[in-house]
Structures are given as structure tokens and as C-alpha cells.
Amino acid sequence: MTSWQEELKNAITNSAGLACALGYDPAAAEAIIARYPMRITPYYLELIKKAGEPLRRQAVPDLRELEDPVGMEDPLGEENLSPVPNLVHKYPDRVLLLVSGQCAMYCRFCTRKRKVGGEALRFSEEHFVAALDYLRNTPSVREVLISGGDPLLLADERLEDILRRLREIKSIEIIRIGTRTPCTLPMRITPKLCAMLRQFHPLYINTHFNHPAELTKEAERACTLLADAGIPLGCQTVLLKGVNDSAEVLGKLFCGLLRLRVKPYYLMQADLTKGTGHFRTPIKAGLEIMRQLIGTVSGMAVPKFVLDAPSGKGKIPLTPDYITAMQEGRLEFVNFQGLPCSYPLE
């Protein structure tokens, strides 16, 4: 297996490389990449060649990214919820800390298309000191989610420094890391990295797989190393048109994740991010998928279906409607098979 540094060095980042690898029109690619950067690792390129369209759509620029009149630059209102640079405080007891503007692959549906891959998201020592000061002065914050970009694109030593300094703040109880490297750059997960991470428990990792074709032997090895280091793993999957918008595909993905010791955590309705309109599915489609999954696969394999409300109003669970009536002291509902049921209200 090549090193993760070599994978990044050999990644496709320009229109000429994309044309050579996948026969993509270089002029079209150039126009999109000029606005939204591209990076495709050799590892993920080989998966695209094997699996085709569902993986290609996630990685390869599409002219529709430049034709999205509905989307917003900052759909979750993160800039307005940022008391210091690169720290977002949306919920009372937890914050989001953006420590990297780089990713192994720039997903075409990314909610931070406005920031990643360029100079818009820079994380300096000055920014980190300001974030630490904010956290020390806000003891109600007990949990920090480290994200970006991808935190695991940082060197082990830099990431260790960030984790250690966060752990020195007594009010911080839980640290989470959001990373897609087990999917797009699995060779980044090394025994050395895992030995470092296990120093900072309770530490959780949420990763991101969208299609069963991404559950490779390399991904399994990466997840196994992390799980064996005692790190609980969750997965945040995005519901994407033409990628995974069927119960059959998602059921296979979620059951496969459990075999890798990764708990399906969220199924996310795609955000209203500018340049991603061609990925968004109707809300009804997601609800119907959840209806088909619930009761037909293990409850452990069923994530919450959520919508991250615009303007930073938080995640809203979306659940199929099973209740038919509440009357005469009884709850009337149907089960996953559509069969009527009743239960006393009190």
C-alpha cells in the first residue's frame, strides 16, 4: 500500500489530469475547478473506474455546480455563529472547531464548498489560541467537534498538539473528530496515528461513507485500526441523488458499516449549499427510504434521518409518520408492515 503522502502527491487536481484519467472535457473542468477545487486520490480514482457513476458523481466536477440558483454560500449560517475565527458555536454545550482547509478528496456536494481547498479556511496558531481562550471562558461547552476540511490531513504531531491543548481545558469532556479519510484515503490511518489518538479518550470519530462500493478491504483495515484503539466510530451519510437514493443501496451500506464496527449515525438530507442542487432529493424520498429500512434491517443499522436547518437552526429529525390517531385514551398507529396497532395513552 502506498503512503498517504504519496497518494496526495499523485492526486488529480487539474483539468489536464482529469482529462487524462477519465476523458473529461478539460475546458469544462477548468471552469468549475477555478471556483470549486478538485482533488481525487489515485485510490479513489480506481474505485471510480470499478464502481462507476455513484462514485464518479461524488468526486468529478459537474457543470451544474455553476448553475444552482437556489443554493446558499453558507447554508448553515456558520459565519454568523462564529465568535472567533474557525469556531462555530451553534448548540449550548458543544462547538465546531475547523482546523484544516484541506481534504483528501473535495466532495462535490460539500457543505463548505465556499471554504475548503483554497485560502478561505486557514487555521493558524493565532486562530487556535483565540479558540482556546474562548473555550476556557465558556465552561458550558463540554464537547468539541474537530473538523474542517479534514483534520487527519494534518501531520500526527500537529493533530496531537491540538488534542493535548484541548484536553488541558477541564470543562471539555468529549472530543470528536470528523474525517472522511477512512473512505477516501484509508492509508492515512496508521498504527502510529491510532496510538497517538488513544491517549485522548473519550475520543470519538465520525467518518463518512456514501456507497457500499466504498467499503473496501483498505477501508476495513482503517476502521479496524481505529476501533481496536478503543475509538467509537460513527458514520454520517449524505442522501445524494444518483449515488445512494434507494433503500437497497443504503441498506447494503449500513449493514456493511456495522461489519466494520462503524455505527450508522446520521443520514443527512443534502444541505442547501450553492453548487450542489443536482444532488438534492425530495424530502418524501428520504422518508420513504427510511420507511423501507425500519423493521427490515437491524435497528443498529438504521441511522437518524436529519435535516440541518438553514441559518444555523440545528439538526431536525425526520421520521416516517406511523401515528394515525390519538383519541379515546389510545394511541392508534401502524407498524413497519402497515398493520394497525393500538396502545393506551396513559
Number of residues that this document lists for the chain: 346
Checking if the pLDDT of 1 tops 90, the result is no
Residues 143-197: tens digit of each pLDDT = 999 999 999 999 999 999 999 999 999 999 999 999 999 999 999 999 999 999 9
40 domain residue, yes or no: no
Residues 91-145: tens digit of each pLDDT = 999 999 999 999 999 999 999 999 999 887 889 999 999 999 999 999 999 999 9
CA atoms within 13 A on the CB side of 328: 2
Residue 278's domain is classified under what CATH number? 3.20.20.70
Closest CA to 320 of 293, 343, 339: 293
Cis peptide leading into residue 202 (ω within 30°):
yes
Q: What is the DSSP letter of 273?
A: B
* Averaged pLDDT of the chain: 96
Are the C-beta atoms of residues 146 and 102 closer than 8 Å to each other?
Answer: no
Checking if the pLDDT of 290 tops 90, the result is yes
Are the C-beta atoms of residues 203 and 177 closer than 8 Å to each other?
Answer: yes
Query: What's the confidence (pLDDT) of residue 2?
Result: 84
* Structure confidence at residue 278 as a pLDDT band (50, 70, 90): very high
229 domain residue, yes or no: yes
Residues 228-253: tens digit of each pLDDT = 999 999 999 999 999 999 999 999 99
Query: What's the confidence (pLDDT) of residue 119?
Result: 80
Strand pairing class (143-148; 174-178) = parallel
Query: What's the confidence (pLDDT) of residue 227?
Result: 98
Mean pLDDT of 206-234: 98
Residue 91 phi, psi dihedral angles, 5° rounding:
-100, 150
- pLDDT above 90 as % of the chain: 95
How many angstroms separate the CA atoms of 248 and 102, rounded? 33
Are the C-beta atoms of residues 292 and 306 closer than 8 Å to each other?
Answer: no
Closest CA to 334 of 344, 346, 324: 324
Helices (H) and strands (E) in the chain, counts: 12, 12
Structural domains in the chain (count): 1
81 domain residue, yes or no: yes
99 domain residue, yes or no: yes
The amino acid sitting at 242 is: G
18 domain residue, yes or no: no
* Structure confidence at residue 30 as a pLDDT band (50, 70, 90): very high
Mean pLDDT of 312-321: 94
Residues 116-127: tens digit of each pLDDT = 998 878 899 999
- pLDDT above 70 as % of the chain: 100
Q: Give the bridge partners for 238, in sequence order.
A: 268
Q: Give the bridge partners for 88, in sequence order.
A: 96
Name the pTM for this structure: 0.95
**Residue 46, C-alpha cell as written in the block:** 480506481
Q: Name the CA radius of gyration of the chain, rounded.
A: 21
State the virtual CA torsion across 230, 251, 269, 110 in degrees, nearest 10.
Answer: 60
How many angstroms separate the CA atoms of 161 and 176, rounded? 15
The answer on whether 183 is annotated among ligand-binding residues is no
193 domain residue, yes or no: yes
The answer on whether 103 is annotated among ligand-binding residues is yes
The answer on whether 107 is annotated among ligand-binding residues is yes
| Enclosing domain of residue 135 | 45-320
Are the C-beta atoms of residues 149 and 100 closer than 8 Å to each other?
Answer: yes
Residues 44-82: tens digit of each pLDDT = 999 999 999 999 999 999 999 999 999 999 999 999 999
Are the C-beta atoms of residues 279 and 241 closer than 8 Å to each other?
Answer: yes
242 domain residue, yes or no: yes
341 domain residue, yes or no: no
